[in-house]
Amino acid sequence: MAETILQVSNIETYYDKVRALHGVSFEIKEGSITAILGNNGAGKTTTLNTVMGLLDDQPDKGTIHFSGERIDGKDTEKIVAKGIGYVPEGREVFDELTVKENLLVGAYLRKDRKGIQEDLDKMFSFFPVLKDRLQQQAGTLSGGEQQMLAISRALMNRPKLLLMDEPSLGLSPALVKMIFDIIPMIRDEGITVLLVEQNANMALKVADFGYIMENGRFVTSGTAKSLQEDEDVKEFYLGIKTEVSVKGQQRYKRKRRWG
Amino acid sequence: MLGQLIVSSLVVGSIYALLALAMSITYKASEVPNFAQGEMAMISTFMAFVMLSSYGLPFYAAMLITVVFAFVLGLLLEFLFLRRAKMPTPLNLIVITIGFQLMLYGFAGWKWGSDQRQINLPFSESKVIFQNDIFALTELNLATLIIAVVVLVVIYLLIQRTKLGLAMKACQQNINASRMNGISANRIMAITFGISSVVGAMAGILVAPILTLDPSMMWDPLLKGFAAAVLGGMKSLHGVVIGGLLLGLVENLFGFYISIEFKSVVAFAIIVLILYFKPSGLFDKHYVRKV
C-alpha cells in the first residue's frame, strides 16, 4: 500500500461569512492520479486554494498534512518549498515575461544550474512548441501553449505533488487530449497528481481515484473504475443515459442517491 | 547656445530620470505612486550631509552609508507601514505614503530646521573641466551624468540579469502566481521599495548642490520626476528614463526660447497633455490581455 502524501481532514473554508467548504476530507496516495470532479461552484478550486494557503487565514477549521507535516496556515511560498506544485485555473502565466523567464521563475527555489537546464530540456520534450517560443512573451501564446507553459513552470520546481486546476479549460479537444496524455507521463516521473476537472470523462480515464464534489462537500468517491460504472455518475457527469419510460420518454428526473 | 542648452538639459533630465525611475519601480510593483519618495530622498541627502559635514567622512564612505540608509528606509516604509494595511486598496496605500511623507518632513524640520544649507560634494559647481565652441561642462555636471548613468546601468542589470530582478518582475505582474512558484512576495516587495529609495536618494544628492539643502527641497524635483514618469509611461522603465531626459530638454528649451517665467509650468502642462492624449505614456508597451 502506497504512503499517503496529502491528508486533508475536515477543512472548512469561508469567504467572509459564507462557508464554501463544509468539512472536506480526502487523502492522496503517493504515485497516484486523483481526480476531484464537480460542477461550477462546487468548491473544487477553493479546495486547491485552501491547500496552497492562497486564502488568508483559511482553512477556518480542519487540518492539512503533506508527507506527515502539517501545512495549513503556512505561507504559500513555504508550502511550495515543501514540494507542492500548482497549475492554477486560467493558467496565470506571467504575460510580460518570456517563456524562458516564466520557466526560470518556476525554478526560483532551486540553485543547481545543471539540473535546471536538464529540466528545461525535459519540458521541451514534453512540449516541443515551448522551445520554438522560448524568447516570446508568454502573453502572446495561445491558450493551449499557455497551459503547457503553466504545467512546465510548476514542474520546474520538481514538486512531489502537482495540483492541476482544470487544465482542459477552454482548450480544443485535440489539445485537451494532448494535456491528458501528458498527465500519466508526469506520474511516471514519480510525481503524484491531483487533478480538478469538469471534464469528468477525460479525468476518470487517466485517474486512479476520484472524488465527486457538490456544494462544498464530497458526495461520493472511489476508484476511477467504480465511478465510471456508477449509475449516478454516468448520468450526471458522463452524460450517458438510458431512456426508461413507458412512453419512451423520461418523465421523472432520476433522484440522486447521494447528499 | 543650443549645444549648451542641450547639455544642461541632459544634466537636469538625468536627475528627473532617476526620480522617475524610483517612482516607476515601486509603482510597477505595487500600483501605488509613492508620494514619500521625495522626502525619503531628502532625509537620505541630509544623512549624506551629516556624514560629510559633521563627521567629515570622505565622499565615498558617506555615499556608501547613505545608500545603506536609503535602502533601510525603503524597507521600513514597506515593512512597518504598507504591509500592515488590512486589505488595502491603492488609495489606502497612497494615503499611507502621504502620511509617511509628512512624518519625514516633520522630522527633518524638527531636526535640521528650515535653514538652507550647502552640501559639500567634492565636485565644484563652477569649475569648468571641458569646454569647446559648442558647450562647457562643469565638474558637477559631469559627475551628475556619470553617477546617473552608473545608477541606471546597475538597475538595468539588476532587473534584467539577476534572479532577484526576475522575482521582482514576476511579482510586478502577478503576486499570487509568484507565490505559487515559491517567491516570497512580501520580501521582494520590501526590497523593491529599498532599491527605489536608493535611486531616489542618488537623485537627492545630485540635486542638492543645484538647489539648497532644506526639508522642502525635493517638492519641485519630485513633481518633475513624476511628470517625467507620466510622460514616459509609469510602467516602462526605459520609458521613464527617456521621459526624464525629454522633460529636461523641453523645459529648458521652453525656458530659453519662449518664457523663463513659465518654465516650471511646462512639466505640469505635459502631465495634462499626456493624460489627455496618451494616458499610458509615450513608451508604455503594456501587454493587453486578450479575452
| Residue-wise pLDDT tens digits, B170-198 | 888 888 888 888 888 889 999 999 999 99
pLDDT tens digit sequence for B244-283: 999 999 998 988 888 888 887 888 888 888 888 887 877 7
Q: Cell 501545512 belongs to which residue?
A: A71
Task: Confirm or reject contact between A258 and chain B (CB < 8 A).
Answer: no
CB contacts under 8 A, B 49-88 vs A, are: none
Tell me how far apart the alpha carbons of residues B78 and B277 are, in angstroms, rounded to a whole number.
34
Q: Which DSSP helix (H) or strand (E) runs through B112?
A: helix B90-112
| B164 contacts in chain A (CB < 8 Å) | none
pLDDT tens digit sequence for B208-250: 888 888 888 888 899 899 989 988 888 788 888 999 999 999 9
Q: Average pLDDT, stretch B137-166?
A: 90
Say what the pLDDT of residue B145 is. Answer: 92
Look at residue A11 and give its three-state secondary structure: strand
Q: How many C-beta neighbours within 10 Å does residue B194 have?
A: 22
Q: Which of A52, A91, A96 is most worth mutating to test chain B (most B CB atoms within 10 A of its CB)?
A: A96
CB spacing of B181 vs A108 below 8 angstroms: yes
Q: Which of A55, A80, A105 is most worth mutating to test chain B (most B CB atoms within 10 A of its CB)?
A: A105
The DSSP bridge partners found for residue A47 are none
Residue of B nearest to A76 (CA): B179
B199, pLDDT greater than 90:
yes
Q: Which DSSP helix (H) or strand (E) runs through A53?
A: none
DSSP at A255: P
Where do the domains of chain B lie?
2-221
Nearest CA to CA, how far is B171 from chain A (Å)? 9
The residues of chain A scoring below 50 in pLDDT are none
CB spacing of A139 vs B287 below 8 angstroms: yes
DSSP at B85: -
The separation between CA B148 and the C-alpha centre of its own chain, rounded to angstroms, equals 11
A5 neighbors A26 (Cβ within 8 angstroms): no
CB-nearest to A105 from B166, B287, B290 is B166
Task: Confirm or reject contact between A202 and chain B (CB < 8 A).
Answer: no
Alpha helical stretches, state H, chain A: 44-52, 76-82, 99-106, 113-126, 128-132, 143-155, 173-188, 200-206, 224-229, 231-233
pLDDT tens digit sequence for B12-60: 999 999 999 999 999 888 888 899 999 999 999 999 999 988 888 898 9
Q: Cell 538639459 belongs to which residue?
A: B9
The DSSP bridge partners found for residue B130 are B137
CB spacing of B163 vs A108 below 8 angstroms: yes
| B163 contacts in chain A (CB < 8 Å) | 104, 108
B77, pLDDT greater than 60:
yes
| A153 contacts in chain B (CB < 8 Å) | 181
CB-nearest to B166 from A104, A140, A157 is A104
CB-nearest to A77 from B174, B179, B286 is B179
Give, to the nearest 10 degrees, the angle between helix A113-126 and helix A143-155.
Answer: 150
Tell me what ipTM this predicted complex has. 0.80
Tell me how far apart the alpha carbons of residues A249 and A42 are, in angstroms, rounded to a whole number.
30
CB spacing of A105 vs B183 below 8 angstroms: yes
pLDDT tens digit sequence for B115-141: 788 888 888 777 888 788 878 888 888
Nearest CA to CA, how far is A238 from chain B (Å)? 29
DSSP at B182: T
Task: Confirm or reject contact between B126 and chain A (CB < 8 A).
Answer: no
Tell me how far apart the alpha carbons of residues A159 and B274 are, in angstroms, rounded to a whole number.
47
A93 neighbors A33 (Cβ within 8 angstroms): no
pLDDT band at B290 (very low <50, low <70, confident <90, very high): very low
Assign residue B73 a region (left: φ > 0; alpha: ψ between -120 and 50; beta: otherwise).
alpha
Say what the pLDDT of residue A250 is. Answer: 55
The better pLDDT of the pair B94, A2 is held by B94
DSSP at B44: H
Say what the pLDDT of residue A7 is. Answer: 86
B101, pLDDT greater than 60:
yes
Task: Confirm or reject contact between B177 and chain A (CB < 8 A).
Answer: yes
CB-nearest to B289 from A95, A105, A154 is A95
Residues 6+ apart with CB under 8 A from B291: none
CB spacing of B181 vs A157 below 8 angstroms: yes
CB-nearest to B182 from A94, A139, A157 is A157
CB spacing of A96 vs B169 below 8 angstroms: yes
Nearest CA to CA, how far is A87 from chain B (Å)? 9
B107 neighbors B218 (Cβ within 8 angstroms): no
Nearest CA to CA, how far is B233 from chain A (Å)? 16
**Cβ pairs A/B, distance under 8 A:** 74
| A93 contacts in chain B (CB < 8 Å) | 177
| B184 contacts in chain A (CB < 8 Å) | 75, 77
Task: Confirm or reject contact between B169 and chain A (CB < 8 A).
Answer: yes
B243 neighbors B20 (Cβ within 8 angstroms): yes
Beta strands in chain B (DSSP E): 128-131, 136-138
Task: Confirm or reject contact between A54 and chain B (CB < 8 A).
Answer: yes
Say what the pLDDT of residue B151 is. Answer: 92
Q: Answer yes or no: pTM beyond 0.95.
A: no
Task: Confirm or reject contact between A144 and chain B (CB < 8 A).
Answer: no
